[in-house]
Structure 1
Amino acid sequence: MCEWANRIEYSLWTQYCDEGRRFGHMTTNISECVNSILKRVRNLPVCSLVKATYGRLAELFVRKGREAEAQLGTGQQFSQYLVKCIEANLKTARCFTVTVYDRDNSEYTVAETTPTGSFSLGSYRVSLGSQTCDCGYFQALHFPCPHALACCAYSRLTWQPYVHEVYRLSSVFGVYRLGFTPPILEGF
C-alpha cells in the first residue's frame, strides 16, 4: 500500500505538501471519515475488518469506474460535481460589473452589484493568468469562482482552461481503472 501511495503526487494526498490545495474536500479529519466507513465492521476481528474494507473498496472502484466510463462515453469532459458548481457560479456571476486592467495578463476587477445595479456589494481583483481571486475560492478549489467566470464571459474566454486536471473525467476514470484481485477463499 505504501508503494502505491508513494506513486501518487504528495500534494494530492498529504496535508503538509498540499500548499492549501484541498480540491473541495475536508482532509484534516481523515480518522472520522474512516470511522464512518467502517462503522458496521469496526468491532470485528482484524482479519475480517481487512476483508470487509477490501471488499467495499473493490465494489466502490467498480461502481465509480463504470460511472466515469459511462460519462466519458457520452462525451462529457468534467465531473458532474464540477459542472454543478460552474452552473451555480454562472448564475451568481450575472450581476457583476467587470473592468479590465491588463488584457495581456488577464487582470480584472469585479464589482458585485445588486440585481438592479443600484449599489456595489463588494469588489474583487481577479487574475486569470495566475488563477487567483481576492475571494480565495479560485485558488482553493482550482476552478473558476463566480468572479473569474464573469471575467471569462466579459473577455469571451472559455472557463475550461482554468480548471485543474483533477476535475476532468479522464483523471477520475484513471483513478478507478485500478483492478482488484479477488480474495483467497478460505476452507477450500
Structure 2
Amino acid sequence: MTINISECINAVIKGSRNLQFTALVKSSYFCLGEIFSRNGSKALAQLQVGAKFSQTLMKVIEFNSKYVNTMNVYQFDQSRTNFTIEELAAVPGSRQKNYQVLLDEGKCDCGYFQALHIPCRHVLASCSHARLDWKRFVHLVYRMESVFNVYRSEFRPIGHEDD
C-alpha cells in the first residue's frame, strides 16, 4: 500500500523538481486536474456502454477463471456457502492444495478474497459449482458507478495570486 501511494505521488510530482513550494503545489493541482478529467471521461464512456465493473476487475476475473476447471469443489452445507476447494494442478504462487471458502463470511484461506473483496479463483470455482453469480461477491467500490463518482468532482482553475 505504501509503495502504491508513493508511486502515485511520484507520478504527480514528476517533472516538478527544483520548484518553489507554491509552484510545486500549483503543478500538482494542475496534474491532478488532468488525471481526474481523463479518468472521469474513461469512466463515463464505460458507463455509457453499459459496463457494470471496471476493465481492471474484469481482467482479474478472466485470469482467475482460467483455473476453475483444475479444481475439485466439495460443498458442505445446504445453503451453498461453505466449500472446500482442492487444486489439482500447480498454480503459480499457490502455497497449498486445499482451501476453505466461506461465501457468507467473505473468506477464503488464500486471503485474496477478504483482502481485496474480489472473488479469487477458489470463490469463482465455488460459485460455478453452486451455480451462484460471482458478481454479488464483488465489493461496491469496483462498480463503474462508484468509479465514476470518484472522478465526478471538478477542479476549478486557480486565479492569479494578486486577485
| TM-score normalised to structure 1 length | 0.78
Q: Which residue of 1 aligns with 2:36?
A: 61
Residue 145 of structure 2 aligns to which amino acid in structure 1? S
Q: Which residue of 1 aligns with 2:93?
A: none
Q: Which residue of 1 aligns with 2:71?
A: 96
Q: 1:176 to 1:36 in 2, by over 3 A?
A: closer
Q: Distance in 1 between matches of 2:3 and 2:75?
A: 38
Shift of 1:186: 5.8
Aligned residues with identical type, % of pairs: 47
Q: Number of paired residues?
A: 158
Q: Which residue of 2 aligns with 1:70?
A: 45
Task: Tell me which protein shows more helix as a share of its residues.
Answer: 2
Q: Distance in 2 between matches of 1:66 and 1:32?
A: 23
Give the gaps of 5 or more residues in structure 2: 91-95
Shift >4 Å, 4+ stretches: none
Q: Which residue of 2 aligns with 1:183?
A: 158
Q: Which residue of 2 aligns with 1:27?
A: 2
CA RMSD across the alignment: 2.0
Give the gaps of 5 or more residues in structure 1: 1-25, 116-120
Q: Distance in 1 between matches of 2:148 and 2:117?
A: 19
Q: Distance in 1 between matches of 2:99 and 2:5?
A: 33
Shift of 1:92: 1.5
- For the Cα contact (< 8 Å) 2:36–2:151, is it kept in 1? yes
Q: Is 2:139 aligned against 1:168?
A: no
Q: Distance in 2 between matches of 1:60 and 1:39?
A: 13
- For the Cα contact (< 8 Å) 1:105–1:129, is it kept in 2? no
Q: Which residue of 1 aligns with 2:59?
A: 84
